[in-house]
Amino acid sequence: MRFKEKARVMDEATMRRTLTRIAHEIIERNKGAKNLVIVGIRSRGIYLANRIAQKIKEIEGVEVPVGELDITFYRDDLTVLSNPLVQKTHLPFDITDKDVILIDDVLFTGRTARAALDALMDFGRPATVQLAVLVDRGHRELPIRADYVGKNVPTSRREEVRVNVSELDGEDSVVIGEFEGEG
Amino acid sequence: MFLRSKHLLGTKDLQKEEIELILNTAESFEEVLEREIKKVPTLRGKTIVNFFAEPSTRTRTSFELAAKRLSADVVNISGKSSALVKGESLVDTARTLESMRVDAVVVRHRAAGVPHLLSRVGNFSVINAGDGMHEHPTQALLDLYTVRKRFGNLRGLKMAIVGDILHSRVARSNIFAFTKMGIEVVLVAPYTLIPADVEALGIEVFPSLKEVLSEVDIIYLLRFQLERQEETFIPSLREYSEFYGLGSAELKNCKEGAVVMHPGPLNRGVEIRSEVADSTISLVQAQVESGVAVRMAVLYLLLGGVKK
């Protein structure tokens, strides 16, 4: 199976501006950043979380703690880790009574967000949980919506949305594509 | 990546990559065990039977905790309380369990091959928790995990397994597993307690601990199996302890950074003296601690997931 790119919906500059906008929205909605903690989901959400925390620091001068959440053990489809990479949850702070900003790269069926909420609740009782995503591609299977959306991208179910981050993929971009061949 | 089999019967059948997968997965579970709520919903709805026909504290408890922390339902059957004492055959027991739709059976039995038999009869996963003098794979895996955590790597280390190799399923599983991961294994034991076929594996044997003490990173002491000594394998316990036991006098000649391991339960004063068992070079407690995370990893990799 080969991934065939069909469209680029975000490049490096747009991604930077989008994350800056999300950071502003988070601060506006929460009237500052004092009670915030940011939690990134899985690999790419973590990189986005760090960038948003950096933006908030630039804007508000407040250092917001960033944590990492691995939701594999909470998934309802029980996908066994398909890569040997060890992924751990790392929340070096107490989330109880905090406003938690949960960050993921793509919002699709909503099942990842649901699993993330379950995982989060095992660590404490946050005051609020807000969801920020870089891309909302539709096709929800659960009653879940994002509080902050970078870009709404209409897609067909067969398509795949890829968020690339420079730390892992060598560039910042969002592309839509399709797998060609079997499957 | 997946495990190739739905059973874990021995380390002999595992590939290096599979062992690595188990150890890496265990690392994720260790983080879960450090949380205040030490439980994840991963195996919710699965039923695991702990079938222990031989006595066990740590292995049975460890498997039970591992299953419960993955939210599976656990049923314990012990040898004395099972229908086996009424004369039910193992095959019939397996069929009974199959009819009750259990997902996995963790089995310990004094006869080698019982897990293999069960794996052919039922449609559940079988995990060998010790069969006779054959294998005890999860012990070897948790030992590897403990070593990797302490040393940071496995390849290039040297380990001496000391004691009653002949009767030890732990020794067998550890020889297979450790060698696969690039650790050099040597055996230290009286010749009466060495299996006949061991040279075929290309493993060196030494008649006393003194000869290798300064070269090895891991001194793995086996439990002297007092219950299996109806034949005379050794002249006396005191002599055994003299040649194969580890006390503070012997420790002085150890390699720097060397560690002592033991699968438990300890015979203090026979193969290990208290001053060693309770010292900082002893990984005995760390081994027990690794047990739950490693068994969670095994259960998860065998039972979790939709395999496409």
Q: Which fold would CATH assign to domain B137-287?
A: Rossmann fold (3.40.50)
Greater confidence, B43 or B83?
B43
Q: Please compute the mean of the pLDDT values over residues A170-176 and round it to a whole number.
A: 95
Residues 84-123 of A with CB under 8 A from B: 84-90, 118-119, 122-123
What is the amino acid identity at position B203?
I
Buried b (16+ CB within 10 A) or exposed e, B245-263: bbeeebbeebeeebbbbbb
Is residue A68 less than 8 Å (CB to CB) from chain B?
no
Contact B97, B122 (CB under 8 A): yes
Q: What digits encode the pLDDT tens for the residues A42-76?
A: 889 999 999 999 999 999 999 999 999 998 888 77
Q: What digits encode the pLDDT tens for the residues B155-207?
A: 999 999 999 999 999 999 999 999 999 999 999 998 889 988 887 878 999 98
- Cβ-defined contact of A72 to B28 (cutoff 8 Å): yes
Residue B2: what pLDDT? 80
Structure tokens given for A60 = 């508000």
Residue A146: what pLDDT? 97
Provide the domain limits for residue A49: 12-163
Closest CB from A78, A90, A118 relative to B305: A78
Residue A49 lies in a domain: yes
Closest CB from B1, B28, B40 relative to A74: B40
B182 contacts: CB under 8 Å, gap ≥ 6: B154, B155, B156, B157
Task: Report CA dihedral (A36, A40, A46, A51) to the nearest 10 degrees.
Answer: -30
Could you state, in order of their start, the residue ranges of all structural domains in chain B? 16-136+290-303, 137-287
Q: Which of A77, A81, A120 to mutate to test the interface with B (most CBs of B within 10 A)?
A: A81
DSSP type of residue A97 = T
Residue A78: what pLDDT? 57
Which residues of chain A make contact with B304, given a CB cutoff of 8 A? 78, 80
For B94, list phi and psi in degrees, rounded to 5: -60, -40
Task: List the single residue in A with minimal CA-CA distance to B1.
Answer: A82
- Cβ-defined contact of A79 to B35 (cutoff 8 Å): no
Is residue A13 less than 8 Å (CB to CB) from chain B?
no
Is residue A1 less than 8 Å (CB to CB) from chain B?
no
CB pairs under 8 A between A and B: 55
Q: Which of A42, A43, A70, A73 to mutate to test the interface with B (most CBs of B within 10 A)?
A: A73
- Cβ-defined contact of B41 to A74 (cutoff 8 Å): yes
Task: List the single residue in A with minimal CA-CA distance to B26.
Answer: A86
Domain B137-287 in the same topology as domain B16-136+290-303? yes
Is residue B45 less than 8 Å (CB to CB) from chain A?
no
Structure tokens given for A63 = 């250092």
Residue B229: what pLDDT? 66
CA distance A124 to A99: 12
CATH class for the region spanning B16-136+290-303:
alpha beta
CA distance A162 to B243: 63
- In this prediction, residue B88 has a pLDDT band, given cuts at 50, 70 and 90, of confident
Residue B116, exposed/middle/buried by CB under 10 A (0-12, 13-18, 19+)?
middle
Closest CB from B2, B28, B300 relative to A86: B28
Residue A144 lies in a domain: yes
Q: What digits encode the pLDDT tens for the residues B214-232?
A: 999 999 999 988 776 666 7
CA distance A178 to A57: 37
Residue B179: what pLDDT? 96
Task: List the single residue in B with minimal CA-CA distance to A183.
Answer: B308
- Cβ-defined contact of A122 to B42 (cutoff 8 Å): no
Residue A83: what pLDDT? 46
Residue A181 lies in a domain: no
Contact B201, B165 (CB under 8 A): no
Closest CB from A73, A79, A83 relative to B32: A73
Is residue A20 less than 8 Å (CB to CB) from chain B?
no
CA distance B281 to B218: 10
CA distance B199 to B12: 17
Which residues of chain B make contact with A88, given a CB cutoff of 8 A? 27-28, 31
Question: Is 60 exceeded by the pLDDT of residue A80?
Answer: no
For chain A, the domain total comes to 1
Residue A90 lies in a domain: yes
Its pTM stands at 0.87
CATH of the domain at A129: 3.40.50.2020
Which residues of chain B make contact with A72, given a CB cutoff of 8 A? 28
Residue A38 lies in a domain: yes
> pLDDT above 90 covers what percent of chain B?
68
- Cβ-defined contact of B42 to A89 (cutoff 8 Å): no
Closest CB from B24, B36, B304 relative to A86: B24
Which residues of chain A make contact with B24, given a CB cutoff of 8 A? 84-86
Task: List the single residue in A with minimal CA-CA distance to B70.
Answer: A73
What is the amino acid identity at position B3?
L
Structure tokens given for B183 = 């650790």
Greater confidence, B131 or B93?
B131
> pLDDT above 90 covers what percent of chain A?
83
Is residue B145 less than 8 Å (CB to CB) from chain A?
no
Residue A114 lies in a domain: yes
Closest CB from A82, A87, A122 relative to B35: A122
What is the amino acid identity at position B233?
F
Residue A134: what pLDDT? 97
Q: What digits encode the pLDDT tens for the residues A9-24?
A: 999 999 999 999 999 9
DSSP chain B: ---SSS-B--STT--HHHHHHHHHHHHHHHHHHTSSS----TTTT-EEEEEESS--SHHHHHHHHHHHHTT-EEEEEETTTSGGGGT--HHHHHHHHHHTT-SEEEEEESSTTHHHHHHHH-SSEEEEEEETTTB-HHHHHHHHHHHHHHHS--TT-EEEEES--TT-HHHHHHHHHHHHTT-EEEEE--GGGS-TTGGGGT--EESSGGGTTTT-SEEEEPPP-GGG-SS--SS-HHHHHHHH-B-HHHHTTSPTT-EEE--S---BTTTB-HHHHTSTTB-HHHHHHHHHHHHHHHHHHHHSS---
Q: Please compute the mean of the pLDDT values over residues A33-40 and round it to a whole number.
A: 96
* Angle, helix B114-121 to helix B90-99, in steps of 10 degrees: 40
Question: Is 70 exceeded by the pLDDT of residue A86?
Answer: no
